[in-house]
Structure 1
């Protein structure tokens, strides 16, 4: 997999303290890699939002998640693959929050899926061990298609001092 492009980085002074600086994308990647829980936002066919927590793995410049083929998020993605994934700290004055916007693309390549299956087990433990069959994860809950989201735009929200960084990926 080629090296992902570095994003254009911009601090938004409207939402940042006077002494704040833009966050580095490498820091954001480290936080995306370490985060255990993400919130996925999708859009229902009738236009209403749907938000749900899930596990995700950062690998090769993108976030990856799986879901049952008949779960609400999977049904939504069939109609509209545009998503936002959010992770961070549920506190006002500490931590760093991240929002990743992009298109959820089904991933079916067996080699990449096996690498992701290993990454899930390494990150989340043995209860998150998947086999790979017919272009999807297979586990205790049955078949689970896997989706990849390469950031198109990402936002970082620092809290000490308050700062909002936007990363824009021009090649995505």
Structure 2
């Protein structure tokens, strides 16, 4: 069996939300109690961020972007990037000497009744939370900050 290739230190963060600012959070299987939005690294250096986002959302939640329920235009590039230090507990996944990751932020508008099917190796459970509460629950400061940006990118339904 060949060794697993190192992760590329370029990733996406996808804030999945409804039009009334409910945010989907996932509890990590490898770190119970750690809640987050969908995240994931590029598979190849030349993989477009939007493609990474589509793939990671489907892998982690079963939500298919480009389906009748969630059309392509539901995925919005927020034009935000975070550069952060990779937590030491996960640094072994990257090439020696890699200490920082660049994360590109997207929002994904979904209907409230969308079916969520978790990848059991990645997540234990999910919750829909009001955006401020979701931001408070995120273990990652960059994830919390992205969730706090949600009202800038969505006009709530009155």
TM-score higher than 0.5 here?
A: no
TM-score by length of 2: 0.33
- Larger-Rg structure: 1
Q: Which one has the bigger strand percentage?
A: 1
Bigger relative contact order (CA 8 A; separation at least 6): 2
